[in-house]
Chains A and B, each alone.
Chain A
């Protein structure tokens, strides 16, 4: 995937380049990109395909030559790589940096345990982005880590902030009095960026991985992280951002923070109920969405911050209705479905929570929550579909869609061809680790999708949300402007965007009051 990227950048004459393993998924993608099926199908699974589209023969030849060179000599992959490390193993790295206090691991899951256990024995904390670490290995790693006083963030943890510094996929947010433990990567990014926009800083955001709150792991690291945040004198509000944990783990966490916790808490269990624990005098607030979590953090920080957060991250029911009306009045009669194309897993989850409460018909997803049906094929949407393009079937042998937007670009056009589609709903995640311009990369396709619908006598509504901080290198404001320039609606949170999409598809009908009270505002009792 790195070679593809390098080849694409060699010359302006190269319009598409994919240097990828010939897995069935990748072959399917290349065919959808318009490369000749007969040639593609000839490749065996162990082959590497070099697929290039260029505007002229010279660019084409150059691309193929460079791709071959990089395949033969991997050291040529990184241009200008005088900084490229000569360290090839852990021991030499530990010699080079004997006082290392954190190791960031993003290698195939099968190799993680050996490295992790070795580091635990040396007292070194770790963030493990790698997937496919078995639950048995995760338990062994975490049990040994707890005994040795070592923090294990992950496996499957893409995002953290430690001492105000972003680790992995993260955002340039200011440092402040908030500390968060998260088992939801893009969920953590949504909360920290929205807080940043409200002037509330985050000192630590610790991703523990989605399996930590399962019965088998028992919330081991979530509890360790909570204890650490309780001890840090700079932290005054602690948050938990997660899909709802298993009931026994949730009870264990609640018991710990209500009996031993001293600080203020915001518990955001996405899809869960909104409530305030009166026994703790309002010290603990529980909410059911990322959007309401931001309001709850602001509330815990003070009334001024709450007012600012409401103004910055909320849209009133009336304003949303008015804005969406401009969209739904342009639709044709047969257009009724939403197609959500997400790069963030937590956004996929949150959108399903909201859409399943409003939409009367069936909803399908490749990562379905309760009450949502599983898609027959992730490659083909049906009725209302919420697709997580970061799921394994899309990322085997290629980069995550937050890094490589190709797969979503294809999908935007495919969805636009369906005359029953009313709305495309999308997230754009900025920050460290993400594509250098995720919005810019999709603009041509959004324009083309709208044109395609127009040629068919329809209007395609595009509702989007940009998850980013003003300090992110991709440019938060400019990303929003670019989307607006091609006629996309940009809403301040993922939850509002999902609600807006539903309003458009339903022409303003649907139980929007319930969504507002449960997911988009903080109830009156707060």
Chain B
């Protein structure tokens, strides 16, 4: 079995994708974190992307 990154007993380094309140909570605890200002990909665009993926 492969090994994931070390998580326990090392410093937490967190990427937050979604609700800002969770990022704020990490900051309050001095946890190193970055926040992604995530937006959903428009559906149509994804469908077009899929078609392009098949064509190109």
With a CB–CB cut-off of 8 A, which chain B residues contact A90?
15, 17, 36
Mask of A280-297 contacts with B, CB within 8 angstroms, 1/0: 000000000000000000
Q: Do A97 and B38 form a contact, CB below 8 Å, given A103-B15, A129-B19?
A: no
- Minimum CB distance partner of B39 in chain A: A88
Contact between A89 and B36, CB atoms less than 8 A apart: yes
Q: How many residues of B contact A (CB 8 A)?
A: 37
Contact between A93 and B22, CB atoms less than 8 A apart: no
CA distance A149 to B27 in the complex (A): 28
With a CB–CB cut-off of 8 A, which chain B residues contact A94?
15
* A39 CB within 8 Å of chain B: no
Contact between B17 and A86, CB atoms less than 8 A apart: no
Contact between B15 and A149, CB atoms less than 8 A apart: no
CA distance A444 to B15 in the complex (A): 39
B15 to A: closest C-beta gap in Å: 5
With a CB–CB cut-off of 8 A, which chain B residues contact A166?
25, 29
Contact between A433 and B25, CB atoms less than 8 A apart: yes
Mask of A144-159 contacts with B, CB within 8 angstroms, 1/0: 0111111100000000
Contact between A96 and B34, CB atoms less than 8 A apart: yes
**Cβ contact of B9, chosen from A106, A146, A163, cutoff 8 A:** A163
* B55 CB within 8 Å of chain A: no
Contact between A162 and B25, CB atoms less than 8 A apart: no
Number of A-B contacts (CB under 8 A): 142
With a CB–CB cut-off of 8 A, which chain A residues contact B10?
101, 163
Contact between B36 and A87, CB atoms less than 8 A apart: yes
Contact between A106 and B19, CB atoms less than 8 A apart: yes
CA distance A151 to B16 in the complex (A): 16
Q: How many residues of A contact B (CB 8 A)?
A: 55
Contact between A149 and B25, CB atoms less than 8 A apart: no
* A56 CB within 8 Å of chain B: no
With a CB–CB cut-off of 8 A, which chain A residues contact B26?
104, 165, 167
With a CB–CB cut-off of 8 A, which chain B residues contact A87?
34-37
Q: Do A85 and B18 form a contact, CB below 8 Å, given A100-B13, A163-B12?
A: no
A504 to B: closest C-beta gap in Å: 35
With a CB–CB cut-off of 8 A, which chain A residues contact B6?
101
CA distance A103 to B34 in the complex (A): 10
Contact between A130 and B25, CB atoms less than 8 A apart: no
* B5 CB within 8 Å of chain A: yes
With a CB–CB cut-off of 8 A, which chain B residues contact A111?
40-41
CA distance A42 to B15 in the complex (A): 42
Contact between B40 and A108, CB atoms less than 8 A apart: yes
14 contacts between A and B (CB under 8 A): A88-B36, A88-B39, A93-B15, A99-B5, A102-B12, A106-B16, A111-B41, A125-B7, A129-B19, A163-B12, A165-B26, A166-B29, A167-B22, A167-B26
Q: Do A93 and B34 form a contact, CB below 8 Å, given A88-B39, A162-B8?
A: yes
B1 to A: closest C-beta gap in Å: 6
Q: Do A104 and B4 form a contact, CB below 8 Å, given A85-B35, A433-B22?
A: no
Contact between A85 and B15, CB atoms less than 8 A apart: no
Q: Lowest 10 A-B CB distances belong to which pairs? A: A106-B18, A432-B25, A150-B4, A85-B35, A149-B4, A123-B4, A149-B3, A101-B5, A106-B19, A103-B15
Excluding A228-B8, A432-B28, 17 further A-B contacts by CB distance (< 8 Å) are A87-B34, A89-B38, A93-B36, A99-B5, A100-B13, A102-B7, A102-B13, A105-B18, A106-B18, A111-B40, A125-B4, A145-B4, A148-B2, A163-B9, A165-B12, A168-B25, A433-B22
With a CB–CB cut-off of 8 A, which chain A residues contact B35?
84-85, 87
* A78 CB within 8 Å of chain B: yes
**Cβ contact of A107, chosen from B4, B12, B17, B28, cutoff 8 A:** B17
CA distance A108 to B34 in the complex (A): 19
A169 to B: closest C-beta gap in Å: 8
Contact between A85 and B34, CB atoms less than 8 A apart: yes
A475 to B: closest C-beta gap in Å: 15
* B52 CB within 8 Å of chain A: no
Contact between B4 and A129, CB atoms less than 8 A apart: no
**Cβ contact of B14, chosen from A96, A103, A148, A473, cutoff 8 A:** A103
A56 to B: closest C-beta gap in Å: 31
CA distance A94 to B18 in the complex (A): 15
With a CB–CB cut-off of 8 A, which chain B residues contact A146?
1
